[in-house]
Amino acid sequence: MGHLDGSVLQYSNHFWGDKHHGFQVLYENTKKGEESAQELSIFIKERLQLEDEYSKMLVKSMNKVSSFISSGSALETAWVLTKGTLELLAEIHVMMVKNLQDLSREIVKYKDEVSKSRKEAKQQPTIEAVNLMQTTTTCLQKAKETYYARCNEYEKVRKEANANPKEIAKVESKMLKAKEEYASYVEKYEAVRTNFLEKMESACRLFQGHDRNLYAALQQFLVVYSTQHQEMASAAQQVKIV
């Protein structure tokens, strides 16, 4: 999980595009984490089903061998040994079924917690800050373009040889009004931007912590499964040796 190491990458140093879609990108990424948890849950459930079916087949084989023994088979001694081996194997696989059941429940519970956490993240005040930042940025750009256009218009009218004073005053009034509106949005933008930066930095820390914890948990679940599988295989091998 080196790619989630804080010393390598900090979310707060990224996701600051001009269109301010960083929060949405990070939020959508949490869906992938939820999908990963679901994938692991499906895998363990299918593995549990296979193990359960195999355990039932061992029991069926034991019952068949028991019938051979009770019927006075000429291979009774061999069947008794076989039954003992099957009983040991069945015990091992029954324990594996129990372990997988416990693991499956833990993963399902964790997946539900991840889903709840993702939904709560969507309700953050950060969303409002992002929307306001996007709207204000658009309005500021339009106000800037309008002001520059009014300035050019004013200079053009003022330089005309037969310029009408009333027309000049009218154009100048529009320019000054555009200037005031532009200045107003510049001031508003700074306040909105400050709030946006605070909210986004907080959100980045939240999402980074969420991702780090998520993949560490999924990794641990896989380690538990791998350990259980190795222990079962080792125990089964000992039975074969006996």
Using only C-alpha atoms, the chain has a radius of gyration, in whole angstroms, of 35
State the Cα angle at 121 between 116 and 125, rounded to 5°. Answer: 145
pLDDT tens digits, residue range 98-142?
999 999 999 999 999 998 888 877 767 888 999 999 999 999 999
Q: What does the pLDDT read at residue 241? A: 46
Condensed to tens digits (0 to 9), the pLDDT of residues 225-242 reads 999 999 999 998 888 644
**Could you tell me which residues come within 8 angstroms of residue 43 by beta carbon, excluding any fewer than 6 positions away?**
none
pLDDT of 120 = 79
Distance CA 99, CA 79 (A): 30
The domains of the chain are located at 29-123, 126-220
Which SS3 state, helix, strand or coil, does residue 42 take?
Answer: helix
At residue 43, the pLDDT reads: 96
- pLDDT for 59 equals 94
> What is the rounded distance in angstroms from the CA atom of residue 32 to the CA atom of residue 40?
12
Q: How is residue 88 written in tokens? A: 């040991």
Distance CA 77, CA 100 (A): 35
What's the pLDDT at 3?
Answer: 45
Are residues 186 and 140 in contact, defined by beta-carbon separation less than 8 angstroms? Answer: yes
Q: How many CB atoms lie within 10 A of CB 107?
A: 23
* Regions in the chain scoring below 70 on pLDDT: 1-8, 123, 240-242
What is the full DSSP assignment across 68-105?
HHHTT-TTHHHHHHHHHHHHHHHHHHHHHHHHHHHHHH
Overall pTM > 0.85: no
Residue 142 CB partners (closer than 8 Å, separation 6+): none
